[in-house]
């Protein structure tokens, strides 16, 4: 018997199955979108597929700003 819910004949009820849809870029600022678009264009020129180029393009934006957060959202200030 496994612990993924399959023994019950139904879908798994793992919390990761309830994520918001991926690919929604509405929460990114215009600056973040421009930055990602520039990287995506460069990746497409170097022969990457559209899907791969988009994934690669948003990685630095996500790392730098913590994901598609509006500017200043969720950032910790240096002062306590």
Residue 55 lies in a domain: yes
57, burial (CB in 10 Å: exposed 0-12, middle 13-18, buried 19+): buried
Residue 8 lies in a domain: no
Residue 35 lies in a domain: yes
Q: At 44, is the pLDDT very low, low, confident or very high (cuts 50, 70, 90)?
A: very high
Residue 39 lies in a domain: yes
Number of domains in the chain: 1
Q: pLDDT value at position 65? A: 76
**HEC assignment per residue over 32-66:** HHHHHHHHHHHHHHCCCCHHHHHHHHHHHHHHHHC
**Which range of residues forms the domain containing residue 42?**
27-63
Please determine, for residue 48, whether its predicted confidence score (pLDDT) is greater than 80.
Answer: yes
The one-character DSSP state at 31 is H
Residue 32 lies in a domain: yes
Average pLDDT score, the chain = 75
Residue 33 lies in a domain: yes
Q: pLDDT value at position 62? A: 86
């Amino acid at each position: 018997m496994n612990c993924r819910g399959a023994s019950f004949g139904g879908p798994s009820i793992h919390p990761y199955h309830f994520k918001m849809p991926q690919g929604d870029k509405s929460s990114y600022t215009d600056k973040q979108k421009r930055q990602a678009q520039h990287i995506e264009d460069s990746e497409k020129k170097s022969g990457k597929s559209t899907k791969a180029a988009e994934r690669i393009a948003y990685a630095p934006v996500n790392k730098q700003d913590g994901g598609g957060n509006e500017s200043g959202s969720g950032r910790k200030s240096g002062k306590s």
